[in-house]
Amino acid sequence: MRPNKESVLLKTSAATDIQCSGGVISITGLKKVSKSNIFDIKQVKYRAETAQVIRVGTSSYTPTADTVYKVLIGDVNRFQSGWEETLKPYSYRTPVVLTTLGATAALQREAIHLALVAAINADASNKVVAASLLTGTGFSVTDDGSYYPVYSQGMSNVKGVSTVIPVTNTDGSGFAESDYSITTPGVIGVGVGAYLAAQLPVIDFMNGNLVSGVIDTPPLTTAGAAATSGQNYDVFVINSYQTQAAWSVSGQLALVQRNQEVWVDNGTGSATTNLAGFKAFERVMLGLIFDLYRNDASAIITMGNVAPVSQGLNTGLPSGVAQAENVVSFGNGHSAHYSPIATSTLVALAATNDGISLILDSTAAEGVELSAPTWANSNKSFVVGKTAFSLYTKITLDDVSGVNPLWIGFRKKAAYGATFTSYSDYAVIGIGGAAGQIYTNTELNGAGNTATDTTQTWADATTRVLEVRVDINGVVTFYIDGYAPTVTQALTLDSGDEMIPTVYALQSADIGTPSLLEFAAVATNNWRS
């Protein structure tokens, strides 16, 4: 059976748009759903569309005479009259006397490129535009964009990004594989207000045919209004099972998948009036997402709902001795361990407004590391190659120059160290510069740390969401406020390594007071995209 689908659009939102009572979740505009029937919830962040740009040709190849230089362009996702689109060839054969194109290889390459650009642009059906990069350095092929348009009469047939293939001839001449690179990856837009608005169905009143839009659960408000052009929307997708009568057997019930979508104005569009409302709504939804993993042995979750309680391991009181291991309980059945980076007079992690203070003494060169237990028999860890995993944190920082470094991410399970770089394996993101500069920082097998400036910064008195996700193969990705950093680095952790989540905050002379508002280490890396 096809899943039962429904959707709703919220132009304004609040935490109260989600009600949980008696194991039942009620969201404004959607049918109620039992928490026990939910098997998956995902958040898909808004993203603008970006047209793909491909570079063909380089300044390194030397043209040859009487040779075909060919490029294939098309999209195998497109269909015409039921047939898969065939990639179209665009070619140019160089003359027998190559110098007629120019006296130098650069001039000859430029002539080849200009000929191919002209051929590509003369064909209006290929959904791309080509342009020379000049001086024989190559040419670009840029998608027209508007990927996967909403149905309308006379709509374009654009689907996903175009396929562009420089052809190597059977004798090895022509373009080489190296004569190709993706300059700008194509991005399919999500939550674009104008696109969502176009999904409002328009029906021919004479025959009932669809003129434009979509019939199957378009995102509309409870009053039937469409999205607003210029606004940006996040979507939360809730997948659950519901019972309904099995048509073949009287009195028998069957489980049918239900798909519910909530499109919410995220306050980042032309109007930002719903920013606070969205954040409140998002926080409750994230709590529901993480609840799906709360019973996993490896999970550590706190949404800042209850003040923390600190205690020692062997006594009732925590220790302020450097690298001592203490316990902090979050009041929701979850707990973590923490350790003073240097000997501290204050020994307990204090509560802040909706969070936990990531300092002990307000003293330079002191700080705290919060992590999963370092004990050998603790199961609060993740093994690379056995499962995917991720760490989500929301942190408010009053003075960005008052803490350096501030790292969140994963490190190999080991006893607490005096310096973060003493650990042999880690993948973290956070403040790595005095001016609130956000860095990624990695190390593998004790080979030395690699710090990369993302070129993004953290401002005073602001809140940031930092994430580190690791797939089952150990591939690490970093995120700032739900999106990949402007500049990042690649790392693949070793299979079999046992990793634990960590937050490391070291005070600098200005004395900052970072507050951990939300923390979720869970055995999945795809709860958000």
Calculate mean pLDDT across residues 358-385. 96
**Distance of alpha carbon 165 from its chain centroid, rounded?**
28
Q: How confident is the model at residue 60 (pLDDT cuts 50, 70, 90)?
A: confident
393 with 468, same domain: the answer is: yes
Which one has a higher pLDDT value, 3 or 362? 362
Element (H, E) at 500: strand 498-507
Q: Is the dihedral of CA 471, 473, 479, 484 positive or negative?
A: negative
For the ranges 77-86, 228-237, 371-380, the lowest mean pLDDT is seen at 77-86
| Domain end position, chosen among 273, 291, 309 | 291
Nearest-angstrom CA–CA distance, 449 and 221: 50
512 with 386, same domain: the answer is: yes
Provide the pLDDT for residue 478. 98
Domain-located, residue 407? yes
* C-beta separation of 494 from 425 below 8 A: yes
345 with 256, same domain: the answer is: no
313: pLDDT strictly greater than 90 = no
Which pairing describes strands 253-265 and 233-245: parallel, antiparallel, or unpaired? antiparallel
Provide the pLDDT for residue 248. 64
Tell me the three state secondary structure of residue 211.
strand
Calculate mean pLDDT across residues 382-411. 97
Q: Is the dihedral of CA 59, 61, 64, 67 positive or negative?
A: negative
Domain-located, residue 528? no
Provide the pLDDT for residue 385. 98
Half-sphere exposure of 160 (CA within 13 A, CB side): 7
Provide the pLDDT for residue 299. 98
82: pLDDT strictly greater than 80 = no
CATH number at residue 77: 3.30.70
DSSP 435-480: TSEEEEEEESTTS--EEEEEEEE--TTEEEEEEEEE-TT-BEEEEE
Nearest-angstrom CA–CA distance, 353 and 368: 19
For the ranges 188-192, 199-203, 243-247, the lowest mean pLDDT is seen at 243-247
Instruction: Tokens for 285, please give them.
Output: 């939804």
282 with 335, same domain: the answer is: no
Q: How confident is the model at residue 435 (pLDDT cuts 50, 70, 90)?
A: confident
Which pairing describes strands 335-340 and 367-371: parallel, antiparallel, or unpaired? antiparallel
Peptide bond into 218 cis (omega under 30): no
CATH number at residue 393: 2.60.120.560
pLDDT tens per residue across span 253-290: 778 899 999 999 999 999 999 999 999 999 999 999 99
| Domain end position, chosen among 291, 322, 345 | 291
Domain-located, residue 527? no
83: pLDDT strictly greater than 80 = no
Output DSSP code: residue 277: H
139 with 20, same domain: the answer is: no
Calculate mean pLDDT across residues 161-165. 95
37 with 87, same domain: the answer is: no
480 with 361, same domain: the answer is: yes
Domain-located, residue 395? yes
426: pLDDT strictly greater than 80 = yes
197 with 255, same domain: the answer is: yes
pLDDT tens per residue across span 218-249: 999 999 999 999 999 999 999 999 877 666 66
264 with 221, same domain: the answer is: yes
Task: Note down the domain range covering 437.
Answer: 300-522
pTM of the model: 0.91
Structural domain count, the chain: 3
Q: How much of the chain, in percent, has pLDDT values that exceed 70?
A: 98
362 with 266, same domain: the answer is: no
Calculate mean pLDDT across residues 418-444. 95
218 with 322, same domain: the answer is: no
pLDDT, mean over the chain:
94
424 with 493, same domain: the answer is: yes
| Domain end position, chosen among 229, 257, 291 | 291
